A and B are shown apart, each in its own frame.
Chain A
């Protein structure tokens, strides 16, 4: 009995060990890892993003035969939004493929923080689109992080600007009350610094109300908002916390159109559980919203109709589209790097160069089929965010409607903050910031 079990265990271990040691296929392939969470409390938000990421890669393979002929091979690893599992996945995937992983996008602030410590050693870029360390915009201190499209500080700043516009000018903010309801984690706490800075500058009263993970119980927070009657409520939630917040807001009759969510609180899974109560709720857009654009026609033609797509009901939803854009930026970075290093599988270090020199112009975005989804994006040695703009959308009960034009975050507020926090990080880690004037 015992021996059979032992034999079985040994067999399982051997198979497992060979699986780990699986020889890298030395073909014309670029390996793209994908850290996903399709299970656990945040799965409703993790799944559409992961589907978008995967479908765009499949599209590149099916339509173009890879990036300039270099096939994309990708593998998903389930993190469940847990930091230690994320680190394990990172370690598992970073060395795969002929040249190692192209870049990582963990879609979790916690995992981003942990990987930020590891990527400089492994020389793999970290693409965190709209999340992660806000100060990692400073490419001189964070050469490996690319916080594409916007940080939480951008979001906070744009939200305040939008509120000011609704009120009729920045000067009208004086004496108003803005309350932040946030997920009590690094993710939710990131915007506080920017909002405090804005509060000081514009003279509004800022209050931050934490909600404990995962955010299923928010009654006392919303009852205090009911008494406090802030003029606007900003919502920095993720997963179940968002829909619960909207429901509680409805219960205390707080007007939903005075609630503005961050772009991680503005997707379909956040509003649909709240049903009609979510009508009027607003959220920032990480530039793009839901809906079908030119790239979606290609996706339908080359991926979905052939049954190779990952998407089901989530096709063209907000987070699905965000996944597409995430993959698009990554693929374009690889393409940029190929122009310099040759059309072959590249290392993470070469792809980092590609990111840093990525320039998505209006024309290029149109060519890729993303016109109307994002504005031009250009990274540089010192700027690892590449764009500073965001819009606002509103839920009408069925669809997200874009209700504002682009806002540009105020660099006079955020710029010094990024510098200051990056310098603090550099000091803690004994990093000498790169000199960007003589960049390669």
Chain B
């Protein structure tokens, strides 16, 4: 009913293989992007509702976009290639510190390159730490990735060169100057993040549909069978590690430069890793859309739990709210795993299917 597919014929292979084969889907995505790129700035410009406040951008949307990007990165590795990683935080940190160091030591390059090179360094380290995955599997690998996490936590703190011998170990980001345009206002920084996320999401979506993505999924579903079919595990796994680490590294550089501005090693600790892992589990492993949904859920739910009681005039101490938050998030994770192990992305898929058939059940 909502989806009138009649009359939409696929007359070419290109149309058949489109990311969004249905016109309605396409429209929704275009409208959404239009709103995100044009609508939001307009709303902010004219101070409409909550969009007039910095908080919606600085406090919610910017972290949301950056963490969605990190979640996309981790989803490539864990969701598509099946290699569980608890080291996403460390790779964000590598991206951030690499970008910082390059900006410090190679001045004169545009900021964009710093961020991308930060991702590049992260990708190289990712390949290095991906090598054990050829031998170690499953939960053992998950614990092994913790080695990367703790090792880099230590490197950021202890190796003076990384922080330019800052006495406290905390460093500051350079000015956000993109080819002469300085992103200063929250809305500018939001647009920067949005652009990065949109581009990487499109790239990732196309990557996982292609040859490489299929290799990853074959490895994930059964690595030995995939190997027998002629997929080289070395190549497939290491590309997954590299691309995933690259995206996570870029997200880390954005997190440091655009969101925090000044940061300490603790900003990329194990909590960040588990947070991103939660996002992809709740959102849906092996789904780009899921990365976004998971990030929204993990980031926005605690804020809602914080805000809702006070909106009704109920005074609850922050202590109780935070602990309650733990309980609710925990319970939701369990409930989701029990009722829909494939996450919100799957729920969305089911909803879409229902909408296509509505009002008929079949």
Residues of A within 8 A of B (CB): 2, 5-6, 12-13, 15-22, 36, 38-39, 47, 76-78, 80, 82-84, 87-88, 91-92, 94-95, 109-110, 113-114, 116-118, 121-122, 133, 184-187, 189-190, 192-193, 210, 212-213, 421, 425, 428-430
- Flag if B172 contacts A429 (CB, 8 Å): yes
A-binding segment of B5-13, B200-208, B265-273? B265-273
- Flag if B311 contacts A15 (CB, 8 Å): yes
* Residues of the B chain whose Cβ atoms lie less than 8 Å from the Cβ of A187: 168
* Residues of the B chain whose Cβ atoms lie less than 8 Å from the Cβ of A122: 54
A-binding segment of B35-43, B111-119, B316-324? B316-324
Interface string of B39-76 (1 = CB under 8 A from A): 00000000001100111101110010000000000000
Quote the shortest CB–CB distance from A397 to chain B (angstroms).
Answer: 30
Quote the shortest CB–CB distance from B158 to chain A (angstroms).
Answer: 7
Q: B272 — nearest CB in chain A belongs to which residue?
A: A84
Contact among B169, B263, B351 with A114 in the assembled complex (CB-CB below 8 Å): B263
* Residues of the B chain whose Cβ atoms lie less than 8 Å from the Cβ of A186: 168-170, 264
* Residues of the A chain whose Cβ atoms lie less than 8 Å from the Cβ of B169: 185-186, 189
A-binding segment of B18-26, B231-239, B281-289, B302-310? B302-310
* Residues of the A chain whose Cβ atoms lie less than 8 Å from the Cβ of B317: 38, 76
- Flag if B310 contacts A84 (CB, 8 Å): no
* Residues of the B chain whose Cβ atoms lie less than 8 Å from the Cβ of A430: 175
What 10 A-B pairs have minimum CB-CB distances, sorted nearest first? Answer: A91-B59, A117-B261, A19-B311, A186-B168, A19-B307, A38-B319, A91-B58, A186-B170, A78-B318, A16-B304
- Flag if A18 contacts B311 (CB, 8 Å): yes
Q: A196 — nearest CB in chain B belongs to which residue?
A: B167
Q: How many A-B residue pairs have CB under 8 A?
A: 143
- Complex Cα–Cα for A255 and B144 (A): 40
- Flag if B307 contacts A20 (CB, 8 Å): yes
- Flag if A83 contacts B263 (CB, 8 Å): yes
Is B274 in the interface zone, CB < 8 Å from A? no
Q: A81 — nearest CB in chain B belongs to which residue?
A: B266
Is B262 in the interface zone, CB < 8 Å from A? yes
- Flag if B168 contacts A15 (CB, 8 Å): no
- Flag if A94 contacts B54 (CB, 8 Å): yes
Given A77-B318, A88-B63, A184-B157, check contact A190 B168 (CB 8 Å).
yes
- Complex Cα–Cα for A39 and B325 (A): 11
With A21-B49, A87-B58, A88-B59 given, name 20 new contacts (CB 8 A). A2-B351, A5-B347, A15-B311, A15-B312, A16-B308, A18-B311, A19-B307, A19-B310, A20-B56, A21-B53, A38-B319, A47-B319, A83-B263, A91-B55, A113-B262, A116-B262, A185-B169, A189-B168, A213-B269, A425-B172
- Flag if B167 contacts A185 (CB, 8 Å): no
- Complex Cα–Cα for A187 and B58 (A): 25
Is B220 in the interface zone, CB < 8 Å from A? no
Q: In chain B, residues 316-362, which have Cβ atoms closer than 8 Å to a Cβ of chain A?
A: 317-319, 321-323, 347, 350-351, 354
Supply 21 A–B pairs (Cβ within 8 Å), ascending by A.
Answer: A13-B304, A15-B304, A16-B304, A19-B311, A20-B50, A22-B311, A38-B319, A38-B322, A91-B55, A95-B55, A109-B264, A113-B168, A113-B263, A113-B264, A122-B54, A184-B158, A185-B169, A186-B168, A186-B264, A187-B168, A213-B266
* Residues of the A chain whose Cβ atoms lie less than 8 Å from the Cβ of B271: 82
Quote the shortest CB–CB distance from A401 to chain B (angstroms).
Answer: 32
Q: A194 — nearest CB in chain B belongs to which residue?
A: B167
* Residues of the A chain whose Cβ atoms lie less than 8 Å from the Cβ of B304: 12-13, 15-16
Given A20-B56, A83-B266, A95-B53, check contact A88 B303 (CB 8 Å).
yes
Q: A83 — nearest CB in chain B belongs to which residue?
A: B267
Contact among B158, B266, B318 with A76 in the assembled complex (CB-CB below 8 Å): B318
- Flag if B54 contacts A95 (CB, 8 Å): yes
Interface of B is mostly: helix
- Complex Cα–Cα for A421 and B266 (A): 22
- Flag if B321 contacts A16 (CB, 8 Å): no
- Complex Cα–Cα for A239 and B84 (A): 32
Residues of B within 8 A of A (CB): 49-50, 53-56, 58-60, 63, 154, 157-158, 167-170, 172-173, 175, 184, 259-267, 269, 271-272, 300, 303-304, 306-308, 310-312, 317-319, 321-323, 347, 350-351, 354
- Flag if B260 contacts A84 (CB, 8 Å): yes
- Complex Cα–Cα for A84 and B259 (A): 9
* Residues of the B chain whose Cβ atoms lie less than 8 Å from the Cβ of A80: 322
* Residues of the A chain whose Cβ atoms lie less than 8 Å from the Cβ of B300: 16
- Complex Cα–Cα for A86 and B77 (A): 30
- Flag if A16 contacts B307 (CB, 8 Å): yes
* Residues of the A chain whose Cβ atoms lie less than 8 Å from the Cβ of B351: 2, 6
* Residues of the B chain whose Cβ atoms lie less than 8 Å from the Cβ of A185: 157, 169, 264-266
- Flag if A91 contacts B54 (CB, 8 Å): yes
* Residues of the B chain whose Cβ atoms lie less than 8 Å from the Cβ of A83: 260, 263-264, 266-267
- Flag if B318 contacts A190 (CB, 8 Å): no
- Flag if B308 contacts A12 (CB, 8 Å): yes
Quote the shortest CB–CB distance from B251 to chain A (angstroms).
Answer: 13
* Residues of the A chain whose Cβ atoms lie less than 8 Å from the Cβ of B267: 83-84, 110
Given A16-B304, A16-B311, A117-B262, check contact A2 B354 (CB 8 Å).
yes
* Residues of the A chain whose Cβ atoms lie less than 8 Å from the Cβ of B158: 184, 210
- Flag if A84 contacts B264 (CB, 8 Å): no
* Residues of the A chain whose Cβ atoms lie less than 8 Å from the Cβ of B59: 87-88, 91-92
* Residues of the A chain whose Cβ atoms lie less than 8 Å from the Cβ of B272: 84
* Residues of the B chain whose Cβ atoms lie less than 8 Å from the Cβ of A2: 347, 350-351, 354
Contact among A19, A39, A421 with B308 in the assembled complex (CB-CB below 8 Å): A19
Quote the shortest CB–CB distance from B27 to chain A (angstroms).
Answer: 19
- Flag if A117 contacts B172 (CB, 8 Å): yes
Contact among A78, A189, A429 with B321 in the assembled complex (CB-CB below 8 Å): A78
- Complex Cα–Cα for A16 and B278 (A): 22
- Complex Cα–Cα for A6 and B347 (A): 10
Q: Which of B259, B265, B269, B307 has the most CB of A within 10 A?
A: B307
Given A16-B303, A428-B172, check contact A87 B55 (CB 8 Å).
no
- Complex Cα–Cα for A430 and B340 (A): 52
- Flag if A421 contacts B167 (CB, 8 Å): yes
Quote the shortest CB–CB distance from B64 to chain A (angstroms).
Answer: 11
- Complex Cα–Cα for A368 and B260 (A): 38
Quote the shortest CB–CB distance from B361 to chain A (angstroms).
Answer: 13
Quote the shortest CB–CB distance from A384 to chain B (angstroms).
Answer: 17
- Complex Cα–Cα for A90 and B286 (A): 34
Given A87-B259, A88-B303, A133-B168, check contact A110 B318 (CB 8 Å).
no
Q: A115 — nearest CB in chain B belongs to which residue?
A: B262
- Flag if B55 contacts A20 (CB, 8 Å): yes
- Complex Cα–Cα for A230 and B207 (A): 59
Given A110-B267, A189-B167, check contact A38 B172 (CB 8 Å).
no
Quote the shortest CB–CB distance from B248 to chain A (angstroms).
Answer: 16
Q: B317 — nearest CB in chain A belongs to which residue?
A: A38
Quote the shortest CB–CB distance from B342 to chain A (angstroms).
Answer: 14
* Residues of the A chain whose Cβ atoms lie less than 8 Å from the Cβ of B259: 84, 87
- Flag if A87 contacts B303 (CB, 8 Å): no
* Residues of the A chain whose Cβ atoms lie less than 8 Å from the Cβ of B173: 117
- Flag if B260 contacts A87 (CB, 8 Å): yes
